Amino acid sequence: MDCRVPHVAQVSFFLDPQRRGPRQMLEDWPALVDVAEAAALGGSRVTVIQASATPARLERNGVDYHFVSIDDNAPTVSGSRAFRTVVQHLEPDVFHVHGLGFPADVARLAELAPGVPILLEDHADRPPRFWRWHAWRRGFRAASAAAFCAREQAAPFERAGLIAPNCEIVEIPPPSRFSPGDQAEARWQTGLDGRPCLLWVGHLDQNKDPLAVLEGVSRAARHLPDLQLWCCFGTAPVLAEVQARF
């Protein structure tokens, strides 16, 4: 019986445009920390490889973080000597790559660690323009699986023929540190009310489909006259349709 703890290397090829330092990135990017610590709590040994303007190695809550900078002669971090050294030294059991939009880096990662499974995780990515389809197909061919919050989110990539037959599609909800608190205190602090009080957090766009939410709320309100819906959103391309539905 093999009791060895599996080693997961989580990789982010995204270079922070603000060029924040490693410690500041851990504070400002909670998802980077939450995903790694969730896997560690599940019993895995977790190492994070993060593209960074400043190289560093940190340890936090049982997770090792390698912040790797880009060489002057390398277009991306996957082509740097430091990245190759870290990948070949770690010898993980699986790579977990954040984002679908780094096909060349994923292909290079597969070359550096042949035979090691690669899981790609969708981060609200969209299929590229058709002239980039070939490069994306190469990235998906190098992956063993691709994770989406919901299976339906993979449909646009499948229609474009980007996901290789050998790439399994899995559903993985994002981790959350949310825990129930005092309801009355929460209502007082936020100024939200309603019996029940419903909160929408997300863009008002076709992808989030707020009209479907409003249809459900409309049906519920027939039986819950004190219901209130609160919307917190960023972009709102369908705001006119939402207002008309109100």
- pLDDT over 80 (residue 175): no
Give the domains, in start order, of the chain with CATH numbers.
Answer: 7-171 (3.40.50.2000), 183-245 (no CATH)
Residue 70 has pLDDT above 80, yes or no: yes
| Identity of the residue numbered 219 | R
H or E element, residue 10: strand 7-12
Which pLDDT value is given to residue 177?
Answer: 74
pLDDT score for 217: 94
pLDDT for the residue 11: 97
pLDDT digits (tens, 9 = 90+) for 180-222: 889 899 999 999 999 999 998 989 998 889 999 999 999 999 9
Beta bridge partners of 169: 146
Picking from 164, 32, 71, the residue whose alpha carbon sits closest to that of residue 110 is 164
Q: Is it the case that residue 72 has pLDDT exceeding 80?
A: no
The confidence score (pLDDT) of residue 2 equals 53
Q: What percent of the chain has pLDDT over 90?
A: 81
pLDDT band at 1 (very low <50, low <70, confident <90, very high): very low
Q: Can you list the alpha helix ranges (DSSP code H) found in the chain?
A: 22-28, 30-41, 81-90, 103-112, 133-141, 155-159, 183-190, 210-221, 239-245
Residue 216: the pLDDT is 94
Residue 112: pLDDT above 50?
Answer: yes
Summarize pLDDT for 9-57 with one digit per residue, the tens: 999 999 999 999 999 999 999 889 999 999 998 899 999 999 999 999 9
Query: For the chain, what is the mean pLDDT?
Result: 92
CA dist 231 to 71, 121, 236, Å? Answer: 44, 27, 11
Q: What sign does the dihedral 163-166-171-174 (CA atoms) show?
A: negative
CA separation for the pair 65, 67 (Å, rounded): 6
Task: State residue 3's pLDDT score.
Answer: 63
Q: What is the pLDDT of residue 180?
A: 85
pLDDT at 75 over 90: no
